[in-house]
């Protein structure tokens, strides 16, 4: 069994996430305490009790998902000490969780960095100026052409190549609307405008990328002890400097999730474990390659099921 651990990104948050682990496992409780201390406020309380509107704020969502993911990862590791993943990968924000798991970044550095990342992304573009839309049932080359045609001097481009059937576009609100309409005209199954606070992973995020680059330059990056597959190109890295550069580039660059998963499957990975809140990445895996097994670890029930599967 060749295993890759996958870590979710923004959108997987829900009130109550991580509480079951924190109540039952000291290592999870300690992870939340570490995050609270690093941030200087009770992130744990927002994860466990909400309110939901606060948990949805990008600068809170990002450290919250990272913390729940690392708490789940540490519990999984405690339960399966012989688990040796061949690779780790994370979707957008999840790439930070992957680097913490691989020992590239310290958890406290990562949690502070993603709080700032969330702030920078939120303030890069005034609310309402940008937008994102999910386009279903249109290949990437056709959708790239649609975006080029619809831009008309504004920004719109693929932002998340999530599966062969689902690609998210991002950019200026009017350009995203034009691209969504044109995609439907040209045969896309559906085009759904997303309820997001900012247009992530496009050129409008350049101010956020510039600010984040300074933060990341000041941090110590070690060589990952497990290869980390990068969002920006879908290729693995074992270099700390390359990891840092990739985390900077992904703010304006598209998340190449399909390429990332194809890299893993072509490298012999047959079992994927999504570690953290939700099952979004397992859902995408079914669209990318149904022949591969995907489990998740977000609560006690899913943990026990996964531990049983990898231990048998």
Among residues 12, 91, 201, 260, the one annotated as catalytic is 201
Which tokens go with 45?
Answer: 């309380």
Rounded to the nearest 10 degrees, the angle between the axes of helix 173-185 and helix 140-151 is 130
Which one of the listed residues 92, 170, 172, 260 is annotated catalytic?
Answer: 92
Q: Is 157 a catalytic residue?
A: no
Phi, psi of 17 (to 5 degrees): -65, 135
Instruction: Please calculate the CA angle 92-96-98 and round it to the nearest 5 degrees.
Output: 100
Is position 92 annotated as part of the catalytic site? yes
Q: Alpha carbon of 199 to those of 131, 134, 151, 159: distances in Å?
A: 5, 12, 14, 9
| Residue among 130, 142, 302, 107 nearest 204 (CA) | 130
Query: Is the bond preceding residue 180 a cis peptide, omega within 30 degrees?
Result: no
- Provide the pairing of β-strand 190-193 with 166-172: unpaired
Pull the structure tokens for residue 234: 């879908």
- Catalytic site residues? 92, 201
């Amino acid at each position: 069994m060749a295993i890759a651990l996958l870590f979710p990104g923004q959108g997987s948050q829900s009130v109550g996430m991580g509480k079951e682990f924190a109540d039952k496992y000291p290592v999870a409780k300690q992870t939340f305490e570490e995050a609270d201390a690093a941030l200087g406020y009770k992130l744990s309380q927002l994860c466990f009790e909400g309110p939901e509107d606060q948990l949805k704020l990008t600068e809170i969502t990002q450290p919250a998902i990272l913390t729940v993911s690392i708490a789940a990862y540490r519990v999984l590791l405690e339960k399966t000490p012989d688990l040796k993943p061949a690779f780790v990968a994370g979707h957008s924000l999840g790439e930070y969780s992957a680097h913490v798991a691989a020992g590239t970044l310290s958890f406290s550095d990562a949690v502070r960095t993603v709080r700032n990342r969330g702030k920078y992304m939120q303030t890069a573009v005034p609310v309402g100026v940008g937008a994102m839309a999910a386009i279903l049932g249109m290949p990437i080359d056709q959708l790239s052409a649609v975006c080029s045609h619809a831009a008309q001097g504004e920004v719109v481009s693929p932002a998340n190549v999530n599966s062969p059937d689902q690609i998210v576009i991002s950019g200026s609100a009017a350009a995203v609307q034009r691209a969504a309409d044109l995609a439907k005209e040209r045969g896309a199954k559906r085009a759904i405008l997303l309820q997001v606070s900012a247009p992530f992973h496009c050129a409008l995020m350049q101010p956020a990328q510039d600010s984040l680059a300074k933060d990341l330059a000041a941090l110590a990056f070690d060589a990952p002890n497990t290869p980390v597959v990068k969002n920006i190109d879908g290729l693995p890295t074992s270099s700390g400097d390359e990891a840092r550069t990739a985390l900077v580039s992904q703010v304006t660059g598209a998340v190449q999730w399909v390429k990332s998963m194809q890299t893993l499957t072509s490298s012999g990975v047959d079992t994927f474990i999504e570690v953290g809140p939700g099952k979004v990445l397992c859902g995408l895996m079914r669209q990318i390659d149904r022949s591969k097994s995907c489990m998740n670890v977000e609560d006690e029930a899913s943990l026990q099921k996964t531990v049983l599967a990898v231990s048998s």
